[in-house]
């Protein structure tokens, strides 16, 4: 029961509710001298416009990045499959460089992995370019191979663009100021009744959770928790490698503890260096 509660309510959520409770129930009652309803309507409208715009912008980038990650994984699987048909003896070499690329991409954050992994991407491209047709029946596949290879360049560069945060600190200053004014105004609506104060408290909690959600979506934190580490695993499986997870993913519980044998990257001096030892873990 306690484990289920912890999954639903995190420590940050509990602190958020406690802070909202203290703000509503411990702050003395006060009354504004101006027309509160008019000012509250104006601030609410501005806040809704800003939050709606940035939520739409960040979620659009979020879904596009999610699609690109899946597309990159399927493209790598297609490359490996074509290589096995064109030159089977070189398929193992391609699987090694794909494995190194996928490990490198998992070691970096989603916001940063596109550029640092280009050295590993170049190794994939060089291996693909070195393939030679050993069976004339598969000669027509070379065009498909190079078309698929070209997709990797396109995906990598688009990921580098889409993964950037949409919101800057200027945007956050405006939103935080509007949020602060809105909270101050609704606190002025308190009349001492329990029902009104509970309603105001939950309104503050919901508003702050929306801000947290926008921050997590914009910073790809939400995506890292739900997709970034699970999506690449079929690639490892298809090229004949064990699943791989960086130790940070397991430490922060971004993924559940695997029930099958897997590899884990143990960093020597993270985050200063990505130098690591990869250990095999048997379940």
Q: Look at 133 and 243; give whichever has higher pLDDT.
A: 243
pLDDT (0 to 100) of residue 9: 52
Q: Are strands 262-267 and 276-281 parallel, antiparallel or unpaired?
A: antiparallel
Percent helix, strand and coil across the chain, each rounded to 5? Answer: 70, 5, 25
Q: Look at 283 and 176; give whichever has higher pLDDT.
A: 176
Q: What is the pTM of this model?
A: 0.78
Cα–Cα nearest to 122, from 107, 101, 106, 105: 101
Return phi, psi of residue 143, to 5°: -65, -45
Q: How far is the CA of 20 from the CAs of 13, 40, 187, 192, 279, in angstroms?
A: 11, 19, 11, 16, 45
Q: How many residues does the chain have?
A: 283
Question: Which residues, listed in sequence order, are joined to residue 231 by a DSSP beta bridge?
Answer: none
pLDDT (0 to 100) of residue 283: 67
Segment 143-169, tens digit of pLDDT: 888 899 989 888 988 888 888 888 888
pLDDT (0 to 100) of residue 22: 81
- Measured distance CA(124)–CA(102) in Å, rounded: 11
pLDDT-based confidence at 16, cuts 50/70/90? confident
pLDDT (0 to 100) of residue 2: 38
Output the CA angle 174-218-234, nearest 5 degrees: 175
pLDDT at 4 exceeding the cut of 50: no
Segment 76-122, tens digit of pLDDT: 999 999 998 888 888 899 999 999 999 988 887 766 777 888 889 99
Residues 254 and 232: beta-carbon distance below 8 Å: no
- Measured distance CA(30)–CA(263) in Å, rounded: 59
pLDDT (0 to 100) of residue 178: 93
């Amino acid at each position: 029961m306690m484990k289920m509660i912890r999954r639903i309510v995190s420590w940050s959520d509990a602190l958020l509710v406690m802070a909202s409770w203290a703000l509503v129930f411990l702050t003395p009652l006060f009354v504004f001298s101006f027309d509160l309803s008019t000012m509250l309507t104006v601030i609410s409208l501005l806040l809704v416009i800003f939050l709606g715009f940035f939520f739409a912008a960040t979620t659009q980038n979020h879904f596009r990045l999610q699609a690109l990650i899946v597309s990159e994984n399927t493209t790598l699987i297609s490359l490996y499959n074509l290589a096995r048909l064109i030159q089977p003896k070189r398929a193992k070499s391609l699987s090694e460089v794909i494995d190194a690329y996928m490990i490198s991409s998992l070691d970096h954050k989603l916001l940063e992995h596109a550029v640092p992994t280009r050295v590993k991407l170049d190794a994939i491209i060089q291996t693909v370019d070195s393939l030679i047709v050993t069976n004339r029946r598969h000669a027509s596949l070379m065009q498909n191979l190079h078309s698929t290879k070209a997709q990797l360049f396109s995906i990598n560069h688009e990921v580098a663009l889409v993964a950037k945060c949409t919101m800057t600190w200027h945007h956050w200053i405006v939103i935080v100021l509007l949020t602060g004014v809105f909270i101050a105004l609704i606190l002025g609506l308190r009349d001492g009744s329990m029902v009104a104060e509970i309603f105001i408290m939950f309104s503050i909690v919901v508003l702050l959770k929306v801000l947290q959600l926008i921050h997590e979506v914009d910073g790809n934190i939400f995506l890292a928790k739900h997709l970034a580490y699970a999506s690449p695993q079929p690639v490892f499986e298809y090229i004949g490698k064990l699943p791989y997870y960086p130790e940070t993913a397991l430490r922060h519980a971004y993924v559940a503890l695997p029930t099958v044998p897997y590899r884990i990257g143990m960093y020597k001096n993270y985050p200063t260096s990505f130098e690591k030892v990869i250990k095999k873990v048997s379940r």
